[in-house]
Amino acid sequence: MNQRTLLITLTGPDRPGVTSRLFTVLAGFPVTVADVEQVVIRSRLTLGVLVAYAGGPPTGTGGTLGGLWTAVEQVAADLDMDLEIATGTVSKEKKRRRGRLHVTVLGAPLTPAAMAGISGKIAASGANIDRIERLSSYPVTCIELAVSGADPVALRAELATEAALQHVDVAVQRSGLHRRAKRLIVMDVDSTLIQAEVIELLARHAGCLDEVARVTEEAMRGEIDFAESLTRRVALLEGLPEEIFEQVAKEVVYTPGARTLVRTLKRLDYRFAIVSGGFTQITDSLVNELGIDYSAANTLEVVDGRLTGRLVGEIVDRPGKARALKRFAAQAGIPISQTVAIGDGANDLDMIAAAGIGIAFNAKPIVRQAADTAVNVPYLDSILYLLGISREEVEAADAEDGVVTPHH
């Protein structure tokens, strides 16, 4: 069965009551609301309402639907807005388009060429952009596109290539209720949550920084086994006094946006965890300061007040991080499909693969290739936009709680 439709589009200065005024007029006519879209850019409103009705097309100014046309024209004139009305038909038997997706584009800056490239790839895939919304204008520009009719795996591959060409970050995620559900965020610590490698901070005090840094890089690139590299590096720390932990903790610098990310997700009842190839003597202070729910890290052995150059207990390595993610999910009562893993090095690959969404944050090439999406801007709270949380929402919540949101 086919129905007639009218697409009514009002464009003009935004002001209170525009939407109410239009729907009040429409309420007096035998139509049903099929779709509504509204966007405001720089105080200029575009409101589109698709209404459906039975019967012939509304021509002229006579008759019931002709009266609707005249009434809507009067609303536009009263509000000093531009009006466009288009007629058409819609089939109730029309099959639904393939699953809806969210395509998130991050750029610093975001250029017209980048948007042209991304939107072009979406169109070439046979998909349609149903809605576009800005989630952030600073310190990065983030645009989210609601897309229908695309295969997520194929589109993700196409957009990843285009994103690299245009120097932007792009994430493709399925739409649906699960996007609003409680999630578990599991994050690497060194060079992700914080800006340094803790073992290198310790090595500086031990006078062996160059050697430790070299072995660290080999491990991060996946050239040597992490457990072996950790054992070799820890051995170089033998003899350091345990008071060094307090000093190094003061040297730790959070990645820009780290506090905002954790604070916002905790406010939304997300669970937050850290997993680290570093050491509990440092990560425990991060847990306490940020209110993190779960953590796993290695522990340096201390005897008679000095480091022995050995570790205590099971090593948290690449497989260990994935096991920790699954353990934390079980403890939180959250399915693995609702977990998000964030990391930068080869040691994070297993947990990124195990999680529902794997995010490479300023990561090595091997990690960017393996992750579902990559974020290459230096602001950790940009990850909020991938979860559909806008900058305005963050700042509004901070203002309610008396927190000053940093502008990086």
Cβ burial of 286 (10 Å; 0-12, 13-18, 19+) is: buried
350 included as an active-site residue = no
Q: Pick the catalytic residue: 190, 344, 350, 372?
A: 190
| Residue with the larger pLDDT of the pair 221 and 347 | 347
Q: Is the pLDDT of residue 164 over 60?
A: yes
User: Which one of 51-55, 94-98, 294-298, 342-346 scores highest in mean pLDDT?
Assistant: 294-298
Q: Is the pLDDT of residue 58 over 60?
A: no
Mean pLDDT on 79-106:
75
Q: Which domains does the chain have, with CATH numbers?
A: 2-91 (3.30.70.260), 101-175 (3.30.70.260), 184-196+253-400 (3.40.50.1000)
Predicted pLDDT at 305 = 96
Specify whether the CB–CB gap between 332 and 301 falls below 8 A.
no
Predicted pLDDT at 61 = 39
Predicted pLDDT at 98 = 53
What's the pTM value of the predicted model, to 2 decimals? 0.79
Task: Give the chain's mean pLDDT.
Answer: 89
Q: Pick the catalytic residue: 130, 169, 188, 304?
A: 188
Q: Is the pLDDT of residue 215 over 70?
A: yes
At 265-319, the pLDDT tens digits run 999 889 999 999 999 999 999 999 999 999 999 999 999 999 999 999 989 999 9
Q: Tell me which of 186-195, 217-226, 270-279, 375-384 is least confident.
A: 217-226
Q: Is the pLDDT of residue 370 over 80?
A: yes
Taking CB atoms within 8 Å and a gap of at least 24, the contacts of 229-235 are: 230/199, 230/277, 230/298, 230/311, 230/315, 230/317, 231/311, 233/199, 233/203, 234/199, 234/300, 234/309, 234/310, 234/311, 235/309, 235/310
Q: Is the pLDDT of residue 241 over 90?
A: yes
Predicted pLDDT at 90 = 59
284 included as an active-site residue = no
